[in-house]
Amino acid sequence: MGKYEKDAEQLLKDIGGKENINTVTHCATRLRFVLNDLDKADKEAIDDIPSVKGMFTNAGQFQVIIGNDVATFYNEFKEISGVEGASQEETKSVAQKNQNPLQRAVGALAEIFTPIIPAIIVGGLILGLSNVLGGVEFGGATIVERSAFWAAINDFLALPSEAIFQFLPVGITWSVTRKMGTTQILGIVLGITLVSPQLLDANEVASTAAADIPSWDFGFAQIDMIGYQGQVIPAMLAGFLLAYLEIFFRKHIPEAVSMIFVPLLALLPTIIAAHVVLGPFGWWLGEIISNVIFAGLTSSISWLFSFAFGLLYSPLVITGLHHMSNAIDLQLIASEVTNHTTSLWPMIALSNIAQGSAVLAVIYLHRGDKKEEQVSIPAMISCYLGVSEPAMFGINLKFIYPFVAAMIGSGFAGLFNNFMDVRANSIGVGGLPGILVINPQIGGGYLAFTISMVIAIVVSFILTIIFRKRGIFNKQDREEPEPAIAADAAASGSIDLSSSEEGTTASTKDSKAKSEKLFAPVTGKLLDITAVDDPVFSQKMMGEGYAVKPTEDEIYAPVAGTVSSVFETNHAVGILTPDGAEVLVHMGLDTVELKGAPFTVNVEENDQVTADTQLAIMDRRAVEEAGKQTDVLTIFTNGDKIGSLSIEDKDEVVAQEEIGKVEVY
């Protein structure tokens, strides 16, 4: 009998049998299924399988987390099920086909906006600082009015701010070509033609008389010379037309002359169409969307609109539909009717705060549960800083009642926020830092948003406690979790934990622990594992660990030991330490799809390694161009043998530098 034969048989049964499997493949840590009917998978039964560490659904794929030994499990599963494996690309393609048109459209929006969100966040922070410097009066005058130095700083900050928001179409057209796999420099050139200084700035069109708008006069026709600064829809339409034309001409033009004619025949017609048809149509459509949403936010039933948006935004995150809000927010910011502001983004920031506050209440209710706190505390912090997925999927949806409490808290906070007409100048800065992008000169400004945050925190926290105490929306959480009882009893002196059976076991276990030194696998920024943008790692489903966002390509061993495995796609290496810690060195996120191209592995199985051993070289540029993140993760996958993990508190680390230790039993 194989090592995982029994578990593989159980998984095949619980997943709905062979007939329910469309495709299956695996990466470094998990099996990736595309199922014919997701509802046939018995998730509770799958979760009880000993070798399964967790599961989730993403982009049409049902992913079952196994761990380092996933390749062995996968091979045994294939033998038992008789299902032939598929490549990552084939699985991804089938998963997209199983999605409905709305899911595919939302997925496309997410892939377009995700790469440019970091720039938008930076732009939002800069605008927030500019708001304080030039928009808030202190003693009758602003900071820039009082200080020549800060006035100069404010003017200088306009450079990156303008580059990000005025020239946003360049980023969008580039991102579209990147997503479609076409020539990215053509996307950049197309974007520049939409914001060229030769054109009338989009922000000046409304204040310019029709007779004064410049135009190209072709004799038989005239075309207005209007720019599309900050516009979203015109740039997206033009970007997709360029991509589809390039794909079409690639197929029909001989390769010998394709370098000349494909770019010419794709780019030139797109530029013409962008200024004659797509630009004006996209502008018109964008204004309609902006006007409808703005009317909803300012109508007599705006209270209902804002409450519903605040209430339902978190469920939208679960479905992935929240990605549509990025395009809507940016369109609102580009519109004259809204004074280049958005009312939606403040409510999104409040939703993050509400979910984080519900987790805070769960931490209070479950105080003393050290194992849960390892997930809940980092999830709460991430939520307050604008990343809600760890809190929602790791804690709130598990118990249901905190998720519903946060929805209600977000709804009331959004209602008050809209009643006070609070608006943001930008998007991208969520959670508590969201106050930095609030416009201080429209509506209630900073004070009103602060009150909205207090509402989100207080209502969500109190309702979470009430729902748990009264059993409302509560299907699995006990009235008094044992760790909380023990903590309270210990605090009152009625129980001596040190003399309990559990305390004795822990003490004995500690006495057998051995310490292993930990090293930085690469030079770069040291990250807490909970900050990694992958729920499998950030929620510690694979185990404890740490990560480094690299600034160099050379990857070294983070521990001394023996190489236990080198993954076929070269993106991950397994190491077994002398004291028995199983360590996974994972290069990049979701990089299994790159089929090993950016990685050169310099070790083989059974090689002895130390911190001086160069495991691999990762071509960071190639990874980034493929749309993947470059984080290098060090994960301890056999949690039953891992005790405390101690990592130094520092921002930057150098490869091979000792940065901490781990206790191994």
> What is the DSSP secondary-structure string of 313-363?
HHHHHHHTGGGHHHHHHHHHHH-TTTTS-BSHHHHHHHHHHHHHHHHHHHH
pLDDT value for 286:
78
Tokens coding 196:
């060229």
- Quick: pLDDT tens for 233-249: 899 999 999 999 999 99
b/e per residue, 535-562, with b = 16+ CB within 10 A?
Answer: bbbbbbbbbbbbbbbbeebbbbbbbbbe
**In the chain, domain spans:** 5-99, 167-298, 302-326+341-470, 512-664
- Quick: pLDDT tens for 78-105: 889 888 755 555 555 555 555 666 666 6
pLDDT value for 90:
53
Find the largest Cα–Cα distance for the chain: 96
Listed range (223-237, 487-501, 570-584) with the worst mean pLDDT: 487-501
Tokens coding 646:
């101690």
Tokens coding 533:
């943008």
Q: Coil, strand or helix: which one is 637?
A: coil
Q: Is the pLDDT of residue 378 over 60?
A: yes
What type of residue is 304?
A: L
What type of residue is 341?
A: T
Q: Coil, strand or helix: which one is 136?
A: coil
**Residue 613 CB partners (closer than 8 Å, separation 6+):** 556, 557, 603, 607
- Quick: pLDDT tens for 332-368: 887 777 788 888 889 989 999 999 999 999 999 888 7
The arithmetic mean of pLDDT across residues 433-453, rounded, is: 89
Pick the more confident residue, 372 or 181: 181
Question: What is the rounded CA–CA span in Å between residue 579 and residue 368?
Answer: 30
pLDDT value for 210:
84
Exposed/middle/buried for residue 82 (C-beta within 10 Å: 0-12, 13-18, 19+) = exposed
| 64 sits in which H/E element | strand 61-65
- Residue 259's CB: how many other CB atoms inside 10 A? 10
Closest CA to 375 of 540, 533, 534: 540
- Quick: pLDDT tens for 121-180: 787 778 777 877 876 777 778 888 888 999 999 889 888 877 887 888 999 999 999 888
Highest mean pLDDT among 62-66, 69-73, 455-459, 592-596: 455-459
Pick the more confident residue, 582 or 370: 582
Q: Are 536 and 564 in contact (CB under 8 A)?
A: no
Q: Supply the mean pLDDT for the chain.
A: 83
| CA-based torsion, 498, 503, 507, 513: positive or negative | negative
Question: What is the rounded CA–CA span in Å between residue 565 and residue 609?
Answer: 13
- Quick: pLDDT tens for 198-214: 999 887 887 788 888 99
Question: What is the rounded CA–CA span in Å between residue 524 and residue 634?
Answer: 14
Question: What is the rounded CA–CA span in Å between residue 368 and residue 591?
Answer: 38
pLDDT value for 554:
96
CA distances from 459 to 306, 314, 467 (A): 16, 16, 12
Question: What is the rounded CA–CA span in Å between residue 555 and residue 286?
Answer: 47
pTM: 0.57
Closest CA to 275 of 220, 234, 247: 234
pLDDT value for 656:
94
Question: What is the rounded CA–CA span in Å between residue 617 and residue 368?
Answer: 43
> What is the DSSP secondary-structure string of 511-572?
HT-EEEEEE-SSSEEEEEGGGSS-HHHHTTSS-SEEEEEESSSEEE-SS-EEEEEE-TTSSE
Tokens coding 266:
């794709």
b/e per residue, 420-436, with b = 16+ CB within 10 A?
Answer: bbbbbbbbbbbbbbbbb
Q: Coil, strand or helix: which one is 634?
A: strand
The arithmetic mean of pLDDT across residues 507-529, rounded, is: 80
Question: What is the rounded CA–CA span in Å between residue 636 and residue 620?
Answer: 24
Which residues lie across from 128 on neighbouring strands?
A: none
For the chain, helix, strand, coil in percent to 5 are: 55, 15, 30
Q: Is the pLDDT of residue 373 over 80?
A: no
What confidence category does residue 317 fall into, taking pLDDT thresholds of 50, 70 and 90?
confident
pLDDT value for 91:
53
Which residues lie across from 572 on neighbouring strands?
A: 586
Percent of the chain with pLDDT over 70: 87
The arithmetic mean of pLDDT across residues 376-394, rounded, is: 79
Q: Coil, strand or helix: which one is 635?
A: strand
pLDDT value for 110:
66
- 383 carries an active-site annotation: no
Question: What is the rounded CA–CA span in Å between residue 631 and residue 651?
Answer: 14
Catalytic one of 27, 245, 332, 531: 27
pLDDT value for 10:
93
pLDDT value for 104:
65
- Quick: pLDDT tens for 482-513: 444 344 433 433 334 333 334 444 444 444 67
- Write down how long the chain is: 665
Q: Is domain 5-99 in CATH 3.30.1360.60, yes or no?
A: yes
The arithmetic mean of pLDDT across residues 589-600, rounded, is: 87
pLDDT value for 637:
86
Question: What is the rounded CA–CA span in Å between residue 575 and residue 606?
Answer: 9
Tokens coding 581:
């810690």
Exposed/middle/buried for residue 340 (C-beta within 10 Å: 0-12, 13-18, 19+) = middle
Q: Is the pLDDT of residue 563 over 70?
A: yes
What is the Cα Rg of the chain in Å?
27
Percent of the chain with pLDDT over 90: 35
Pick the more confident residue, 601 or 501: 601
pLDDT value for 59:
61
Q: Is the pLDDT of residue 309 over 80?
A: yes
CATH of domain 512-664: 2.70.70.10
